[in-house]
């Protein structure tokens, strides 16, 4: 009765909380749907580094070192995550005929505006001229050389 005297609607606070919760859920599912749409646009032998593998499946991989390579925050990077071909072409890598070759990865990935050329080799190995390098704790003993160019 006191609420009605003040002009408040009964249950008004609960409706506000419910509306905020609904908007939050909408934002979560909209983000997942956008990420799913990005992966569904990929050829079946490609993947996207959007960090959603645990929830959306094998075409989604971890974010990895891409934000650092591109000089972006993870939040900004996730607006246009790197897409990469799967390693179906490993036979063409220089170390394909050995079980412990000199390359962990060699190839390229892309965003909508950039191509990211990658080559990961043992620490102490010289990279291609003009390429930058990064090491990550999850790959001890390896250094990744990269070159970012416009698409």
Q: For the segment 82-140, what is each residue's pLDDT rounded down to a tens digit?
A: 999 987 555 555 554 554 566 788 889 999 999 999 999 999 999 999 999 999 999 99
Residue 4 has a pLDDT of 52
Residue 5 lies inside a defined structural domain of this protein: no
Residue 65 tokens, joined: 């070192």
Q: How confident is the model at residue 79 (pLDDT cuts 50, 70, 90)?
A: very high
Model confidence pLDDT, tens digit, residues 14-51: 554 344 443 333 333 333 333 444 566 888 889 999 99
Number of domains, the chain: 1
Nearest-angstrom CA–CA distance, 108 and 98: 22
Residue 30 lies inside a defined structural domain of this protein: no
Residue 143 has a pLDDT of 95
Residue 39 lies inside a defined structural domain of this protein: no
- Which residues span the domain enclosing 122? 44-150
Taking alpha carbons only, the member of 145, 140, 151 closest to residue 110 is 151
Cα 87-55-114 angle, rounded to 5 deg: 45
């Amino acid at each position: 009765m006191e609420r009605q005297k003040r002009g408040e609607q009964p249950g008004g606070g609960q409706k506000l909380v419910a509306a905020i919760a609904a908007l939050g859920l909408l934002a979560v599912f909209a983000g997942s749907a956008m990420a799913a749409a990005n992966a569904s646009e990929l050829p079946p032998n490609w993947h996207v580094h959007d960090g959603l593998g645990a929830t959306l499946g094998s075409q989604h991989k971890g974010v990895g070192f891409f934000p650092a390579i591109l000089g972006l925050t993870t939040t900004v990077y996730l607006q246009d995550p790197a897409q990469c071909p799967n390693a179906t072409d490993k036979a063409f890598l220089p170390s394909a005929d050995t079980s412990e070759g000199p390359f962990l990865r060699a190839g390229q990935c892309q965003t909508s505006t950039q191509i990211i050329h990658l080559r990961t080799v043992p620490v102490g190995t010289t990279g291609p001229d003009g390429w930058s390098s990064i090491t990550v704790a999850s790959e001890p003993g390896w250094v990744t050389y990269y070159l970012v160019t416009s698409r």
